[in-house]
Amino acid sequence: MAIVLDNLSPLPDDADTRMTLWTAIILGLVEGLTEFLPVSSTGHLILVGHALGVTGEQAVSFEIAIQLGSILAVVVYFRRRLWELIQHLPTDPASRQLAYGIGLAFLPAAFVGLASHKWIETHLFGPVTVAGALILGGAVILIIEHTVKDRRITGLSGVGLREAWWVGIAQCLSLFPGVSRSGATIMGGLVVGMDRTTATEFSFLLALPTMIAATGYKIVQSRTILFQGDPLLLPLGLAVAFVTGLLVVAGFLAYIKRHTFKPFAYYRIALGIVVLIVLG
């Protein structure tokens, strides 16, 4: 463990260790395990990438691209609900409201992310910023769990445009590596009055347009870098992220029906402190 953590030390800007099949498997596992938990998949991928010595533009592009595997996991898990939503859009006002709400919540982070993604990748993709965001995000989760008790919205049909908009604003915070997209949107949902299950399900559905846009843009932008070397790397990472993500989605939804998000907050704070201690 000590040997691995020592590799979290900052690497030169031009460092870019060659990706291997084992690296792709490990990063795929990390992505699938953390994408839908409020612990920051991007933050974990950055930390693990630095621990493995896999950094640079190819690594960043790969870490973003394999999120497509997690997206597919959401599509498969919610396939019936998504199909019903599409079928009922022309005739059902509640289905239209949910679709409009997802679209509205998508917009803030889409605009902010498009304007700032390059600066964020250049200046914030490092273990120190991730550790700080993990600790701060964990503290925010604990504060929200202790203070916000309004749970009047108990189903997706009760999510209005106002609530969706504020969840979208909260999602902008997740552009900072280590904050967590699912964490920001779930906490945003709790603040505007959703119960834990509704906030989590809305967060998962919002992930579809958000992650498709972000990963699709990155794949097109970095296609020459992504497909350098072994052509099996990206498909393998995607497959591992998909299988792992599918298991996590099912388990997480079952978990939050009976438990709070406090354990994830404690985990975030502990991990952030450990990383800062290792970095000295």
Give the percent of the chain with pLDDT over 90.
64
For the cut 70, the answer to whether the pLDDT of residue 15 exceeds it is no
End-to-end CA distance of the chain: 16
pLDDT of res. 75: 94
Handedness of CA 224, 28, 82, 264 (dihedral sign): negative
pLDDT confidence tier of residue 279, bands split at 50, 70 and 90? confident
Spell out the residues 6+ positions from residue 23 whose beta carbon is closer than 8 angstroms to its own: 52, 54, 233
pLDDT of res. 38: 95
Handedness of CA 192, 194, 196, 202 (dihedral sign): negative
SS3 153: strand
In this structure, what token pair is assigned to residue 36?
């839908």
Query: Residues 139-153: what's their mean pLDDT?
Result: 94
- pLDDT, one tens digit per residue, over 187-241 is 999 999 999 999 999 999 999 999 898 888 878 877 777 767 677 888 999 999 9
- pLDDT, one tens digit per residue, over 260-275 is 999 999 999 999 999 9
Handedness of CA 93, 94, 95, 100 (dihedral sign): positive
- pLDDT, one tens digit per residue, over 110-131 is 999 888 877 887 777 788 899 9
Does 156 or 42 have the greater pLDDT score? 156
For the cut 70, the answer to whether the pLDDT of residue 2 exceeds it is no
- pLDDT, one tens digit per residue, over 39-96 is 999 889 988 988 888 877 777 788 888 889 999 999 999 999 999 999 999 999 999 9
